[in-house]
Structure 1
Amino acid sequence: MNTHLFNSLVLMVAPESSSFWKLRDGEDLLMVTILLLVLAGCVVLAVVSLMLFYKIRAMLNPAAEAQESKTFWQHFTGLKPLHQERELMMEHAYDDIHELDNPTPPWFMYLFYGTIAFAAVYLAIFEVFKTGDDQLQEYTQEVAIAEQQREEYIKKVAGSINENSVTVLKDAKSIGEGQVLFTQYCTACHGANAEGKVGPNLTDEYWLHGGNVKSIFHVVTEGVPEKGMISWKKQLNPLQIQQVSSYILSLQGTKPAGAKEPQGEKEATPVAMN
């Protein structure tokens, strides 16, 4: 069942209790589905038990069964006593096999009418009054919530990273994410392999503003306006700046083709981590 459809129906029946019944995620919907299936199973078991009971009673005492009036259960199931089955027998027979002209059971018709009623309610909620969210809207909302949670987590983690506490990341995942960021934001000035274009070569031992992780973190964060290096602190959070700084340091000594001539002062830097 669609989560928002269930919520809308509950609001129509008991609006004051909506905060308790509101399904918040897939686990809630799964629990409700399991409960409904268990309930349906109990109903089916009760129906089968009653059917067996009436069948056995009719077989054991057909005379008494013939004298009884039609019960509610017989009306509901559309069943007739065994002694009345001859009235349903069709004229043709094949190899002495007779066919009964049984009508569609009322319970099946009730179920069929119920699906029509459900479709009408669904159509009214989602297509006519537009009070429910369709699958695309649900997906968009869930993605937005997940993105918000991700940003909150990143802010929480990145909040502890600053110019004084930053360290070099060496795990493959962090280096890979730093490479993605470098490719997206830095290649225009420093080249695809950090060989240097408008900006300096970042793979040699010479640095204009320091070659340790704290110096690189500061330059990326604050920029160098007089040299055309913009500040990236509005586009990148501290964790991302730490990742791209670590990736830059991992390129030391790679000697890419077409590397720009050294600029700045020579400084000892960590060896390449590739």
Structure 2
Amino acid sequence: MNLLFILLSGNPSTFWTADPGQDSVILMLAILLLIVMIFIGVVALYLVVILRKVVAPAPASISKPVDSRSFWQRMAGLHALNQEKDLMMEHGYDGIQELDNPTPPWFMGLFYGTIAFGIVYLLLFHVLNVGDLQTAEYTQEVAIAEKQREMYIQKVAGSINENTVALVKDAKMLETGKTVFLQNCVACHGPQGQGGVGPNLTDEFWLHGGSVKAVFHTITEGVPEKGMMAWKKQLNPLQIQQVASYILSLQGSKPDGAKEPQGVRETASLSAEEVTKQ
């Protein structure tokens, strides 16, 4: 009631706060409360009219048929089957008779309520601009989500670099690394790492080092003179760590059509030592 009084008094500034967003919410609540009260008043007025018709006796000079419908049947606009003859319209098509049934009051109430809601919505969001439309809300939510994503990357991936990168063996992280590999690396290295334009990644020979730190550096900085692009702008450090670990997990898989060895061989003992250090 306080909101309604403030709205009708024409001086809502006495209740506004310094927060414009809160002001908009209070205004919307006040208008919605006003609509609800108007709707309740219309329903109450309709009930009064119905009750007056039920209670008030008909004039003696006019004989009306007794309405045997219950109160709720009158509210819903329903008629008994034995009243169909009174509702029959004069015209008919192919033997089909039409009844003059009025639209139920509850339906009309909802109908007019949607019109009132539409008018209020139009005034609030398209005339007064006190709220954001769906497109603006979506844009704001996407911006918030992107900011949260950047904060997460800074927190988790920001601590990973060439000195702190570690070989991961978690199945879920390796699966994520595989996904990154299939999305970005298959054009040069093949879907199984067997090589193509780029070298074979499944043998023990490496052009730029086979440790997790060396692979991380190669992916991050690239090898421009050999056509290997730097991925540090497309992938965050966590993704590079995951894809580097996935590449190292392909060692010894011996896929069909593997490219001939290139580079320097790193022994199994050296690889085991690198894994132990990480």
TM-score (norm 2): 0.61
2:65 aligned to 61, 72, 92, which one? 92
Name the CA shift for 1:225/1:90 in 2 (closer, same or farther; >3 Å). Answer: farther
The residue identity in structure 1 corresponding to 2:216 is: F
**RMSD of aligned alpha carbons:** 4.2
Aligned to 2:168: 169
Aligned to 2:84: none
1:130 Cα offset (Å): 6.7
Deviations 1:5-44 (A, max 9, x none): xxxxxx9994744344677xxxxxxxx9xxx99xx9xxx9
1:244 Cα offset (Å): 0.8
Question: Unaligned stretches of 5+ in structure 2?
Answer: 1-11, 77-104, 273-278
Indicate the percent of aligned positions where both proteins have the same amino acid: 54
1:85 Cα offset (Å): 3.5
Question: Unaligned stretches of 5+ in structure 1?
Answer: 1-10, 24-31, 48-73
Cα distance in 2, alignment partners of residues 102 and 201 from structure 1 = 83
The residue identity in structure 1 corresponding to 2:56 is: E
Name the CA shift for 1:175/1:84 in 2 (closer, same or farther; >3 Å). Answer: same
Contact 2:17/2:23 (<8 A) preserved:
no
1:25-44 aligned at under 5 Å gives the runs none
1:57-76 aligned at under 5 Å gives the runs none
**SS state at 2:64 partner:** strand
**SS state at 2:56 partner:** helix
Aligned to 1:198: 197
Deviations 1:87-118 (A, max 9, x none): 49981137xx47889799xx989887554332
Aligned to 1:18: 20
TM-score (norm 1): 0.62
Deviations 1:194-253 (A, max 9, x none): 111121100011111211111111111112223222221122111111011011011111
Cα distance in 2, alignment partners of residues 251 and 163 from structure 1 = 21
Cα distance in 1, alignment partners of residues 63 and 138 from structure 2 = 55
1:181 Cα offset (Å): 1.4
Cα distance in 2, alignment partners of residues 220 and 75 from structure 1 = 76
Deviations 1:126-173 (A, max 9, x none): 456776544344334323321321122112211110111111122222
Cα distance in 1, alignment partners of residues 133 and 122 from structure 2 = 11
Aligned to 1:65: none
Aligned to 1:78: 48
**SS state at 2:148 partner:** helix
